[in-house]
Amino acid sequence: MRFAKSLIPTLREDPADAEAISHRLMVRAGLVRQLAAGIYVYLPLGQRVLDKITAIVREEMNAIGGQEVTLPVLHPAEIWQQSGRWDAIGDEMFRLKDRNGRDMCLGMTHEEVVAWLAAREIRSYRDLPQIWYQIQTKERDEARPRSGVLRTREFLMKDSYTLDLDVAALDRAYAAHKAAYCTIFDRCGVRYLVVESDPGMMGGLGSHEFMAPSAAGEDEVAVCRACGYAANVELARSVPAPPPPATEARVEVATPNAKTIAEVSALLGLEPRRTVKSLLYVAAKAGPVLALVRGDHTLHERKLARLLGEEVRPAHPDEVRGALGAGLGSIGPVGVTVPVVADEALRAGRWVVGANRDGYHLRGVSAGVDFECRFADLHAAVAGEGCPECGAPLAVERVIEIGNIFKLGTKYSVPLGAMVLDEAGKERPIVMGSYGIGPARIAAAAVEQSHDADGIIWPWAIAPFHAHLVLVGARDQAQADAAEAIYRSLWAAGIETLFDDRDERPGVKFKDADLVGLPVRVTVGTALAKGGVVEVRSRRTRAELRVPPGGVVAAVREVAGPG
């Protein structure tokens, strides 16, 4: 591709509305432009990156027996009503009516359509297993699009669905996907972790997420470097260090104006980990519940919601007073009538808790003695706590979710009637799995993980082109002729090359080459006239070879390194 006639609008300055590194660089390098919040145009270079990624995805999905299909973007409400998600999903689904007033929606995922299709076309256990996949646009009215291409309202997604007769077969399909995903991300050149995840509203039998470490990530994972335990913090277990043993008797103490853990512990001269944080939540169906975590811990709302099996929200101040008779900052579990759930860390020990009397706390309180409660893992894992598997200290990292895999079970096949007859002639619901990959997130993660002050440094496999051919003296006929010949020889050798044939000053071309970040730069300039050589340089290491024009192809391969 020739730069002079291409749409590669590079920007000298950072766009004002971009914060994340990948966002800034993808806009500056001319890969994408924003049309509206969370809605992006992919320009030629950006499109080529997506094409590279989706080509890898296709190869690996085909390799495990995937069959590519295209499912509609526009769905009738009926199938979503059948699965129950028409009501379960709120504002995040784009809804509309057709001219006849029928309810429709835009597809945010395709379990319903797959189950619908399976219900019609799959009848016998002999038809199983099936793996169907598509690479197609998804629409989700995100509450808050952000970080450029990382969280958008319209995005490309590879989604696949497995259909099996039983859970054992699902486990095999799931394992095949897990392995294929690792191959895909390895080939794309991104670093990632495979972590246990919360199946959330997808429901089902288990799930994993593929997470690319990056400061721009929205999720956090807890990782054990000793044994390999890794989980989303939404679900990660961890073993906090216990506070020193205490034997003090229960006593009420005045704590005027001390409302926060920090204030109470300072007033009493105690470490925060000797106190208990009491939080009143309201569950949608079960009503108020008092959740307890240690003073130095943070309650993870997803963990509470998962424990209760329904969504929760913090209680309003007047609800707190109504249920417990005291204001925020003075509440505790002793003598209350609402159900109490306590974090595992509170099983043993004596604690400082709110007295349910404004301005007072209780010291020396024990779970099971002074109040009754259910124990569960409720606190968010933090770095340094013990690994639940081996006890080594956990690390917590920010990550970008680039893929996920879910064992769905029969959650969609039953309501949509996707049944088969088994060998015994008995009707059974198909056991499903669903699996997603976000190509744009892979691209953004690659940029986040691989860039420098001058621009992007693309991994070879997903770079929009492999080589950036810079013609320094566009008006020097000898240089121009040599560059043309090199351009043809590179393409002939299978090295995809962007030829900067613009009549620009060298500095502009070099800056743009660094910004766009193709793995190898080939410079045709004055060195050609002086020494008969051109320069072949690695974007990543900046190592440079000077070779005669005939040696460029070999030099590009050498400089690019393995892969």
Partner RNA sequence: CGGGGUGUGGCGCAGCCCGGUAGCGCACCUGCUUUGGGAGCAGGGGGCCGGAGGUUCAAAUCCUCUCACCCCGACCA
Q: Which residues bind RNA (CB under 7 A)?
A: 10-20, 23, 28, 34, 36-38, 85, 88-90, 92-93, 108-109, 140, 142-148, 151, 200-202, 218-219, 301-302, 311, 454, 472-473, 475, 505-508, 510-515, 523-528, 535
Contact status, residue 365 vs residue 392, Cβ threshold 8 Å:
no
Q: How far is the CB of 354 from RNA (least distance, A)?
A: 23
| Cβ closest to RNA, residue 147 vs residue 497 | 147
Phi, psi of 478 (to 5 degrees): -65, -45
Burial class, 489, CB count within 10 angstroms (exposed 0-12 / middle 13-18 / buried 19+): middle
CB of 407 to RNA, least distance (A): 13
Least distance (Å) from RNA to the CB of residue 168?
A: 25
- Is the Cβ of residue 147 or residue 356 nearer to RNA in the bound state? 147
| Run of H or E residues at 405 | strand 394-409
Nearest-angstrom CA–CA distance, 156 and 138? 6
Tell me the two tokens of residue 287.
């009503």
Shortest separation between residue 146's beta carbon and RNA, angstroms = 4
Report d(CA 461, CA 49) in Å as an integer: 9
> Whose Cβ is closer to RNA: residue 128's or residue 290's?
290
CB nearer RNA, residue 107 or residue 272: 107
Residues ≥6 apart with Cβ < 8 Å to 546: 527, 531, 533, 534, 535, 536
Nearest CA to 373 among 412, 427, 326, 334?
334
Q: Where are the beta strands (DSSP E) in 312-376?
A: 312-314, 340-343, 351-354, 360-365, 374-376
- Cβ closest to RNA, residue 427 vs residue 503: 503
Polymer length of the chain: 563
Minimal distance, residue 85 CB to RNA, in Å: 5
Q: How far is the CB of 542 from RNA (least distance, A)?
A: 8
Q: How far is the CB of 222 from RNA (least distance, A)?
A: 16
Q: Which is nearer to RNA, 99 or 475 (CB)?
A: 475
SS3 track for 214-277: CCCCCEEEEEECCCCCEEECCCCCCECCCCCCCCCCCEEEECCCCCCHHHHHHHHCCCHHHEEE
CA dist 315 and 333 (Å) reads 15
DSSP state of 304: H
Q: Smallest distance, Å, CB 230 to RNA?
A: 18
Cα gap 151→217, rounded to integer Å: 10
CB burial of residue 90 (10 Å; 0-12, 13-18, 19+): exposed
Residue 308 or 336 having the CB closest to RNA: 308
User: Measured from the CB atom, is 51 or 454 closer to RNA?
Assistant: 454
Shortest reach from residue 325's CB to RNA, in Å: 26
Cα distance between residue 432 and residue 416, in whole Å: 12
Considering the complex, state which of residue 201 and residue 266 has its C-beta at the smaller distance from RNA.
Answer: 201
Return the SS3 of 487. Answer: helix
Cα–Cα distances in angstroms (integers) from residue 454 to residues 412, 451, 513, 540, in the given order: 49, 8, 9, 11
Could you tell me the smallest distance in angstroms from the CB atom of residue 530 to RNA? 8
> Which is closer to RNA, CB of 23 or CB of 237?
23
